[in-house]
Amino acid sequence: MRIDILTILPELLESPFNHSIIKRAIDNKLIDIVVHNIRDYSTNKQRQVDDYAFGGGAGMVMTIEPIHRIIEKLKQERKYDEIVFLTPDGVRFNQQIANRFSTLQNIIILCGHYKGVDQRVRDHLITCEISIGDYVLTGGELAAAIITDCIVRLVPGAISDETSALSDSFQDYLLAPPVYTRPADYNGWTVPEILLSGNHTDIEDWRYEKALERTKKLRPGLLDGKID
Ligand code: ADE
C-alpha cells in the first residue's frame, strides 16, 4: 500500500512516521508513505501556493495549479483508489472508513490550509472529503498523520499481535474492556480476581460484559450501530 500526502508543511509530518509501528511497517515495506511539498509544483518565482479570494474577504485560498500538477503527475505513475481532501467540513472519519482505506492500494491525501482551497480542486480533482472531528485545525497535516496512523496499523503484518487491531474499540461497535498487567496488587489497588483465574471462557464473558457496560455508559449510540 502507498499513501502520498500533499502538503505545504512537509516538516510537520517528519516525526509521526518515524517511530514505532509506522516506522516498522515502512521499514518492512508493508507501506510506502511519500510526503510531497506542494510548493515544489508552483511555477511562481516566490513558490506561492495561495492567493486572495475572488470577491474579497479575509484569508488566503490555496490555488488549484500546483495541486493539479502534482495530482496529474502521480496519476500518470499509478492508479489511485481515493484522492482525499482533509477539511473540517468533510465526512467524519471513523473506524469503518479506516478499515476500508486499509484495503486500498494507493491513496492521495491533500492537506488543506488557510481559508480553504479553490473550490475547483474539490469539484474536479478529489474523490472524497474527510474531517477528523468538529473542530478546526490550522491545517490538515495533523489530521493526515492521524488518518495514516489509523490505516497503517490495520495493514496485515503492521501489528505483531494480529488479533489486537480487531479487538480495538469501535471494531465491533463496542468500547474495549479494561486491561491490567503486573503487579496484581499495587498500593492495595487490585486486579479483578477473574483475570487471574486462568479460566478463558469466564474471562472472555467478563470482558464482553465490561465492554457492554462501558459502551452503555459512555457511548450508548454505538449499541444501535451509530458510530457518532
Ligand atoms: N483541517 C482543519 N481542521 C480539520 C479537521 N477537523 N479535519 C480534517 N482536516 C482539517
Confidence (pTM): 0.93
Give the mutation target among 5, 130, 131 for probing the ligand 1 site: most ligand atoms within 8 A of CB: 131
Question: pLDDT tens across 45-82, in order?
Answer: 899 999 999 999 989 999 999 999 999 999 999 999 99
Cβ pair 151, 21 in contact under 8 A: no
3-class SS of residue 124: helix
For atom 7 of ligand 1, the residue with the nearest CA is 131
| End-to-end CA, the chain | 28
C-alpha cell at 175: 468500547
Q: Which one, of 107, 192, 149, lies nearest residue 21 by Cα?
A: 149
Q: Is 91 in the pocket of ligand 1 (CB under 6 A)?
A: no
Q: CA-CA distance, 118 to 158, in Å (whole number)? A: 36
For atom 2 of ligand 1, the residue with the nearest CA is 137
Question: pLDDT tens across 161-171, in order?
Answer: 656 676 677 77
Q: Is 146 in the pocket of ligand 1 (CB under 6 A)?
A: no
Number of Cα atoms under 13 Å in the Cβ half of residue 112: 25
C-alpha cell at 171: 471494531
Bridge partners (DSSP) listed for residue 133: none
